[in-house]
Amino acid sequence: MSDRASSPWAPVLSLYAITTIAGGICLTLIFHYGQQHHLLDPSLGAPAAIVGPTRSFAQALAEELHKNFTSPLAGLVLQVLTVLIVSRLCGVVFGRLGQPRVMGEILAGILLGPSLLKIALPDVHAFLFPESSLPRLFFLSNIGLILFMFTIGLELNIKALSTRARSAVLISHLSIIFPFILGSGLSLLLYDEFGPRQYGFVSFAMFIGISMSITAFPVLARIIQENNLTRTTLGVAAITSAAIDDVTAWCILAVVVGITRSGSATGALAVIFLAVLYIVFALMAVRPALAKWLPRSTAGSDQIPSTSLAIVFMILLASCLLTETIGIHALFGAFVAGVIMPELGDFKHKLTERVQDVSTLVLLPLFFAYTGLRTQIGLLNDVHAWLICGLVVFVAVLGKMGGTITAARWTGLSWREAAGLGALMNTRGLVELIVLNIGYDLGILNAKMFTMLIIMAIFTTMMTGPLLRLFGIVGQSAKTLQPAVE
């Protein structure tokens, strides 16, 4: 019985054995002939030894594993794995503390940098994040930022903004003007100690002003959703104002970057002219063309076809390349590419789902880690530095909340809702980190000023939840909030 069962395998095993033996003999002859030919030709030099010094199996295995583990690719994979584990753990902890998970991820990046890990475990930090690896993290994190800014543009609902823009424009612009003026005024005190001499006072003052004026639209939207404020007057006002705030702030930032990069008034005007020309072309020509073709190509399908998705990414990258070439940064191009995507049907929703997971779960934590590696809290090593940092935080809160509350009262919101809106608009989060990294890369911010503004961004975002509870916006008293008119 067993002979019959095994008989079908006999020819296969025989053929396998014959092929293996014959192949081994052929390879032995080829290697032997090639080695002898190499020895006979003096012009080829001494042949490399196939077998190195005698080593034990355990020693050879350990050396091979170490060599492979310390390769650039393995190092990058280890960095990504470490960042994802730590950021997820910190995100869970912060979520249980009533803070947005993204704040935990941001703090995880700082913990992995010179502010903690390098001090506590310098050898581990040097192994995980050697200086030579920073360019790889920089480029990977920038890909994540491009995709993130693209999704922000996708989530911007232009039709909804146009129907609610009357009061929202006033709230949004006053929440930018007040902190911008206060931040620019603060730069009079900061410039002598922290200002870049190569760019002059105007670039530094404008950048401090814009860093005070940012509202983190994505973080704010999630705070509103998590606290069930979406269908309240306060929630609608906050979402609309923050969206307009984002658009306005990115336009101002594009101007600031253009002025800084051009180095002259004429060059700045040329950059601004080209930027406006590109935006008009994108909105008036590219957007209508996409609205006619892309939704039709995805009709009747739950997924976006690969051809359509490829075209979308080509438009995204082309937009980034154009704005980077113009001189207003590639991230602005990613934002514009998201805005011009068609709103017909659920195309934007499908596209956001395809892009958001990779950018939010994998690539953005790398950006937080890269930011953390540049944040050196140890630079604030005296009372004077911490007093300046406290002043920066105070001016940022005063300008953002003061401007928002003033405008909200003028538009008819109650004191409680106006204060709640001020707390929400004071949320800076991830968008602020993006802006600060741009300033640091351009050389407008030095390491000390960069660290102070990072602390300001984290502190003002973490204030949001406690302030909403203090003003009675979340909790039992939140039930008395006025529902939004549909």
| Tokens 């709640």, residue located | 420
CB pairs under 8 A, 24+ apart, for 84-89?
84/361, 84/362, 84/365, 86/111, 86/112, 87/365, 87/368, 87/369
- pLDDT at res. 485: 45
- pLDDT at res. 40: 55
SS3 content of the chain, % helix, strand, coil (to 5): 80, 0, 20
- pLDDT at res. 456: 95
With beta carbons less than 8 A apart as the criterion, state whether 102 and 48 touch. Answer: no
> What's the rounded Cα separation, in Å, for the pair 87 and 307?
34
- pLDDT at res. 180: 94
Domains within the chain, CATH numbers bracketed: 138-477 (1.20.1530.20)
* Helix residue spans in 327-474 (DSSP H): 330-339, 347-358, 364-374, 383-410, 415-425, 429-442, 447-470
Per-residue pLDDT of the chain (486 residues; tens, 9 = 90+): 455 555 677 777 888 889 989 988 998 888 877 777 665 555 555 555 555 556 677 887 788 887 888 888 888 899 999 999 999 999 899 888 878 888 888 888 889 989 889 899 999 999 899 888 888 888 888 898 899 889 888 877 666 666 556 667 888 888 899 999 999 999 999 999 998 878 888 889 999 999 999 888 778 877 887 777 777 778 888 888 887 887 788 788 888 888 787 766 677 778 888 888 998 999 899 999 888 877 665 555 667 788 888 889 999 999 999 988 988 888 888 989 998 888 777 778 888 888 887 888 888 888 888 888 888 998 998 999 999 999 999 999 999 999 999 988 888 888 888 999 999 999 988 888 888 998 998 889 999 999 999 999 999 998 988 898 888 887 645 555 555 544
- pLDDT at res. 390: 96
Q: Put residue 333 in one of left, alpha, beta given phi > 0 → left and psi -120 to 50 → alpha.
A: alpha
What is the length of the chain? Answer: 486
